[in-house]
Structure 1
Amino acid sequence: MLDQAQMRYFEGNYQACFELCLKGLEVVDENLKEKFVELAALSALKLEIPQALEFCAQSYHWHKNSYFWTLNLAKALIIQQNYAEAIKLLNAFMGVENPLKLEYLHALLRAYKGQNTYNEVENIYAILLKNNPNDLQLWLEFGEYFEFIPKKALGIYQDCYFFINQKLQALEKNTPKIEVLQTFAQDSLTARFNMQKTQKTLIENPEILNLKNFVNTILTQRIAESYLRIFESPLQEAQKAAQILYSVQDKNLQNAEFWFIFAHALEYIKDYAQAEQAYRYIFAIPNAPKNIANTAAFHLAYLLMRQERFKEGLEFYENRLAFAKNTTFSQEYYQIAKNAFLQDSKVFTNKEIFVYCEQGFGDTLMFSRVFEVLCKIAKKVLFAPQSALYPLFSAKLSKENCFANLEILDRIPQDFDFALPLTSLPLFLGLDTLEKIVTLKTPIISPTNKRKSRKIKRIGFFWHTDFALKENNTRNFSLEFFLNFLLELENVKLVSLQVGDFVLPECVENAGVGFKDWLDTYKVMENLDGVVGIDSSPAHLALICGIPTLVILQPRFDWRFGLYEAPKAKFYGENAHLFVSNPNDFSTKNTIIEKLKSIF
């Protein structure tokens, strides 16, 4: 059985090896026990399963002075996320002559990553790259780890570029070409007339070709992406990224990921026509990865709608559903409705339509106005908003006749004719121009208050959304940025609508601390004179409720606010006001204050 287990291990079938070891240990052959335990430990490490710790600990007990089993015990501890013990164990052997020092460093790297001890991670990468700077994959891994600090990632990629450039110069000077033996087929003309089966041929050094290919198709792309993530001077950084990508586009004709990043850079520098071409180019690449093609179509929709080309944009916008979670979206029901619609565009007339949400709260609030059109043609509209929005829609549903057949549900209904995602309704209802959408009524009752008669204005504000943390066109600002201008306002009572843990000045009312759902937010907004915030759900709620609202945007803002050079709140009326600022530029304080005075 031991032979079988060893064979499975060397074949790479670690699960079978581990199971055979367990059976072997049941036989209780003391002469073989140690071998079965060690092999079980090794296979469990390969599988990264919890049992690795038990068997590695036994093996380490038998071989306490073994560099090999110390390393394996540390790996098992890392699998169990016991990083501190693993680091302690590994460091005990780092100060001595250790034949497995590089393996120890890699294990330490993994443990420090688990602890998020960034300085130690950086130090170990530096040691590993000093030992082997030719490991290009290690350079990429180093940069990827620090992508959350774009300037650091950029520095790593630039160091890699400098190293490769130095190496290329040396290779092109010393060994630009190498000799290879070219073998000819016996019946070839060359072999017949020259009587040669082989011939020495000079070719360009393959190492030079490989390094150039790495730089042109991988490294420059990473450098450009890092520039796009920095956000210190967004336009200038996007221009640098675009310039870099321009220089290597002919080397990436079949690289869909390259064209996706290139399209972003072009869009950010306001070259919308070229950005559109770059997105569309991806669709023409044979065998382009499906996820990249779908994402490109999704972003092309945003680009088109940014330019108010809604008819084209809405069709591409359906590609977002390729990424919808099965907990919020049913491909089967969607396809049934879509196929029926393609056969008869009036198929939803006099039918019971179930509408569900698969996007965020802000999209639900913004797109909810399309119910006015759906309710006109459907027999009944059954709407199940997100659970946090259900109390709001249920309690504050408009009593106007145009919404009389709209029913708000807190669960999926059993009976309906068709089911559609809310944000697909503009496409299915032919709402393909901005004019058709903005005139529609919201199904949420606008609150009535005494704004005009109050001397002390109550101003709500918020500055952060967790949903924006992973977005390249991020929306968040710091609390300090907002307080920098809000605390300068006169005759104002500030009301925080933010949810989360933070410290506010005593003069600020912390209303958000008690929010359980969006109805709570609405109730606070009923008593507000205005709202200041970022591009997030509370802004959409304030605007559909008719509350004067200033939305502060970062330079790369969402499609719904139009062109980068001419932002406008196209989906909302006179109560919507915009201001674009870099989140680190506190010098905009006075300009924002003057704008707020004119609004409130």
Structure 2
Amino acid sequence: MNEIKATSNQLLAKAVSFHQNNEFIDARKLYKQCLSIDPNNFDCLYFLGLLYAQTGEFQKAVNSLSKASELNPNHPATFSTLGFAQLELKEYLPAIDSFRRTIKLQPNLVDAHYNLGNALQDTHHHLEAIASYDAALQLQKNNPNIYFNKANSLRYLKDFEAAIQAYDQALFIEPNFAEAYCNKAGCLEQIGAYEEAITACKQALSIDPNFATAHWNLAFCYLLLGDFENGWKEHEWRWVSPDLPIHQERRNFDQPLWLGQESLFNKTIFLYAEQGLGDTLQFSRFAIQVKRLGAKVILEVQKPLVSLLSSLTGVDQIISKGEAAPAFDYQCPLMSLPLALRAYSKEAMNISSPYLHTSKESLSKWESILGKKTKPRVGIVWSGNPDHHNDWNRSIPLDQLLQLSSSKYQLVSVQKNISAADRTLLEAHPEVLRFDNDLHDFSDTAALCELLDLVITVDTSVAHVAGSLGKETWLLLPKNPDWRWLLNRADTDWYPNTRIYRQKELLNWAPVIDQVKNDLNTAFSV
């Protein structure tokens, strides 16, 4: 037994020496030889697990370190390294447990507090994550990464001012921290400091000129401020980074991308939707200009939009996303068309209004569904896609919007997806007509909107349906609006018949609702 122990210790000593000199292949062989003769050698299991973690073999690291932790439950480095490997495998709950056990054994280990914060952040426990980052900062005040991740959690909690301060602390320590400048820019946008956000984006790009997310943020700042020429150029960076959500929509074609250089006369171009339904409705207008260049235009859109967009002038063929496309010479995503067409002016954006139309069949169907009209009809839409990253900001609680109810006019829900809580609320308001089960695609939505006297909506696809039909629309916007609505305007060049109502304070819809109610009473006064 003593000979086996002595041999394993000799192998371990040699393995550790190789390990310390970064000769990982030789170290690994010796660790395994050691364990073949002494399977419960704690030190060997720990060091082999550490090696696996260092070489990115995280599942093997977890296997080795888990066994080591059973043999010695009082070794903090084992649990710290185990937690790191679990975190890399996105095994968040086991990682949290490992880091907490590390801290219990060794409270002053900075990495354990920092990585615990990271695991908590990844599981959206942001208040607890901030507490862990603060504990790490008590032990190490000059670590920019800790400030950066703390700022990220503050940003998720919508505490933008505090997040900006934390990003600034990271940048004070590490002035070349491009990601900190980029994320700071996002917070500056949220508080309306757009020029400062542009400066922060440019600082990030001075450090890393190919930082796609910084270009993406810069694009939206430019667009929001009405600088369409620079905005559309920067917007092309959306395809570069796999970290951006739009990247998954990237398409690979043999045919070249058309951005306005080549003649389209007698050529076929394939235009395709790339983002949300509202984006498709808004940017499909540019197919009209493409057609005027002498092209045959094939348009691919999301299936619920096919019927409605078939009314678009200038489209030779419309197909649903996923269908096989016919032969074509060039291709272009819809949201690259403003750049390709140099559509930087009000005139270029408007094209013509309306540019979409409802069919006689759809109108007849919805006239029958609505029944006899006894008073003006006002459509309402209060929420968008709950999975949208900005839905917390743009949607209005239904109980607030229902304050618009009046005997002077009839409220009609144009909301397709209604939550269980909102259904219950609507049951208590039978005066509101509801047709969500009858809205099968956007031809139905368009026909319903066409038959209303007015549409009141938050920033969602219905705003674009009504706008593209030339319907009178009142659009309710948050304090920090989407770029397309610009700033400080009660109108929009995209849809001439749309009136905008804007929040003055973040998440405070009450004054907006009051103003809308006053204007409704004036508009429909007897």
Q: Normalising by structure 2, what TM-score?
A: 0.72
Aligned to 1:543, the other structure's residue is in SS state helix
Q: 2:352 aligns with which of 420, 440, 443?
A: 440
Q: 1:429 aligns with which of 328, 333, 341?
A: 341
Moved more, 586-595 or 363-372: 586-595
Matched-pair contact (CA < 8 Å) for 1:300–1:316: yes
Matched-pair contact (CA < 8 Å) for 1:446–1:546: no
- Matches of 1:122 and 1:352, distance apart in 2: 56
Aligned to 2:142, the other structure's residue is in SS state helix
- Matches of 2:500 and 2:374, distance apart in 1: 21
- Matches of 1:551 and 1:599, distance apart in 2: 16
| 2:318 aligned residue | 408
Is 1:322 the counterpart of 2:245? The answer is no
| 1:502 aligned residue | 420
* 1:96-135 alignment, distance < 5 Å: 99=74, 128-135=102-109
| 2:304 aligned residue | 388
Matched-pair contact (CA < 8 Å) for 1:358–1:421: yes
| 1:136 aligned residue | 110
Task: Please report how far the alpha carbon of residue 592 of structure 1 lies from its aligned counterpart in structure 2 after TM superposition.
Answer: 4.1
| 1:87 aligned residue | none
Aligned to 1:468, the other structure's residue is in SS state coil
- Matches of 2:253 and 2:198, distance apart in 1: 28
Q: 1:230 aligns with which of 143, 157, 161?
A: 157
- Matches of 1:129 and 1:70, distance apart in 2: 15
Q: 2:498 aligns with which of 571, 575, 591?
A: 575
Task: Please report how far the alpha carbon of residue 225 of structure 1 lies from its aligned counterpart in structure 2 after TM superposition.
Answer: 3.4
| 2:448 aligned residue | 524
| 2:394 aligned residue | 475
- Matches of 1:531 and 1:121, distance apart in 2: 50
- Matches of 2:68 and 2:169, distance apart in 1: 50
Decide whether aligned partners of structure 1 residues 407 and 331 sit closer, same or farther in structure 2, where only a CA change above 3 A counts. Answer: closer
Is 1:556 the counterpart of 2:474? The answer is no
Is 1:284 the counterpart of 2:206? The answer is yes
Tell me which amino acid in the other structure corresponds to 1:594.
N
Decide whether aligned partners of structure 1 residues 523 and 384 sit closer, same or farther in structure 2, where only a CA change above 3 A counts. Answer: same
| 2:148 aligned residue | 221
Gaps of 5+ in 2: 1-7
* 1:333-412 alignment, distance < 5 Å: 333-335=255-257, 337-338=258-259, 341=260, 345-394=261-310, 397-398=311-312, 403-404=313-314, 406-410=316-320, 411-412=323-324
Matched-pair contact (CA < 8 Å) for 2:396–2:509: no
Task: Please report how far the alpha carbon of residue 154 of structure 1 lies from its aligned counterpart in structure 2 after TM superposition.
Answer: 4.1
Q: 1:491 aligns with which of 386, 390, 409?
A: 409
| 1:81 aligned residue | none
Tell me which amino acid in the other structure corresponds to 1:375.
K
- Matches of 1:598 and 1:220, distance apart in 2: 52
Tell me which amino acid in the other structure corresponds to 1:476.
S
- Matches of 2:106 and 2:228, distance apart in 1: 53
Task: Please report how far the alpha carbon of residue 455 of structure 1 lies from its aligned counterpart in structure 2 after TM superposition.
Answer: 0.8
- Matches of 1:156 and 1:480, distance apart in 2: 38
- Matches of 1:125 and 1:488, distance apart in 2: 58
- Matches of 2:292 and 2:204, distance apart in 1: 40
Deviation string, structure 1 residues 283-341 (Cα, Å, up to 9, x no partner) = 221xx385xx1111122111111111111111111111225556652265344x35xx5
* 1:15-94 alignment, distance < 5 Å: 68=67
Task: Please report how far the alpha carbon of residue 357 of structure 1 lies from its aligned counterpart in structure 2 after TM superposition.
Answer: 1.5
- Matches of 1:367 and 1:277, distance apart in 2: 29
Decide whether aligned partners of structure 1 residues 248 and 68 sit closer, same or farther in structure 2, where only a CA change above 3 A counts. Answer: closer
- Matches of 1:480 and 1:122, distance apart in 2: 39
Q: What do you get for the CA RMSD once the two structures are aligned?
A: 4.7
* 1:174-185 alignment, distance < 5 Å: none
Matched-pair contact (CA < 8 Å) for 1:245–1:262: yes
- Matches of 1:389 and 1:459, distance apart in 2: 20
Gaps of 5+ in 1: 21-30, 60-66, 73-96, 165-210, 232-236
Aligned to 1:389, the other structure's residue is in SS state helix
Aligned to 1:213, the other structure's residue is in SS state coil
Task: Please report how far the alpha carbon of residue 244 of structure 1 lies from its aligned counterpart in structure 2 after TM superposition.
Answer: 4.7
- Matches of 1:307 and 1:106, distance apart in 2: 48
Decide whether aligned partners of structure 1 residues 599 and 146 sit closer, same or farther in structure 2, where only a CA change above 3 A counts. Answer: farther
Decide whether aligned partners of structure 1 residues 591 and 353 sit closer, same or farther in structure 2, where only a CA change above 3 A counts. Answer: same
Decide whether aligned partners of structure 1 residues 575 and 379 sit closer, same or farther in structure 2, where only a CA change above 3 A counts. Answer: same
| 1:299 aligned residue | 217
Is 1:466 the counterpart of 2:386? The answer is yes
Aligned to 2:475, the other structure's residue is in SS state strand
Q: Highest Rg: 1 or 2? A: 1
Aligned to 1:378, the other structure's residue is in SS state coil
Identity of aligned residues (%): 21
Decide whether aligned partners of structure 1 residues 136 and 555 sit closer, same or farther in structure 2, where only a CA change above 3 A counts. Answer: farther
- Matches of 2:271 and 2:416, distance apart in 1: 29
Deviation string, structure 1 residues 31-78 (Cα, Å, up to 9, x no partner) = 99x99xxx9xx99999788x999xx9xx9xxxxxxx949969xxxxxx
Deviation string, structure 1 residues 108-146 (Cα, Å, up to 9, x no partner) = 9979x99998xx998986665454343334334443424
Task: Please report how far the alpha carbon of residue 393 of structure 1 lies from its aligned counterpart in structure 2 after TM superposition.
Answer: 1.8
Q: 1:257 aligns with which of 179, 197, 218?
A: 179
Is 1:418 the counterpart of 2:324? The answer is no
Task: Please report how far the alpha carbon of residue 542 of structure 1 lies from its aligned counterpart in structure 2 after TM superposition.
Answer: 1.9
- Matches of 1:579 and 1:321, distance apart in 2: 31
Aligned to 2:474, the other structure's residue is in SS state strand
Task: Please report how far the alpha carbon of residue 257 of structure 1 lies from its aligned counterpart in structure 2 after TM superposition.
Answer: 0.3
- Matches of 2:224 and 2:471, distance apart in 1: 24
Matched-pair contact (CA < 8 Å) for 2:490–2:500: no
Decide whether aligned partners of structure 1 residues 461 and 329 sit closer, same or farther in structure 2, where only a CA change above 3 A counts. Answer: same
Tell me which amino acid in the other structure corresponds to 1:261.
N
- Matches of 2:521 and 2:134, distance apart in 1: 46
Decide whether aligned partners of structure 1 residues 156 and 494 sit closer, same or farther in structure 2, where only a CA change above 3 A counts. Answer: farther
Task: Please report how far the alpha carbon of residue 430 of structure 1 lies from its aligned counterpart in structure 2 after TM superposition.
Answer: 1.8
Aligned to 1:409, the other structure's residue is in SS state strand
Matched-pair contact (CA < 8 Å) for 2:382–2:395: no
Aligned to 1:540, the other structure's residue is in SS state helix
Deviation string, structure 1 residues 463-497 (Cα, Å, up to 9, x no partner) = 1313423x4984334444434x2456753233251
Aligned length: 469
| 2:466 aligned residue | 542
Q: Normalising by structure 1, what TM-score?
A: 0.64
- Matches of 1:155 and 1:305, distance apart in 2: 37
Tell me which amino acid in the other structure corresponds to 2:194.
Y
Matched-pair contact (CA < 8 Å) for 1:371–1:443: no
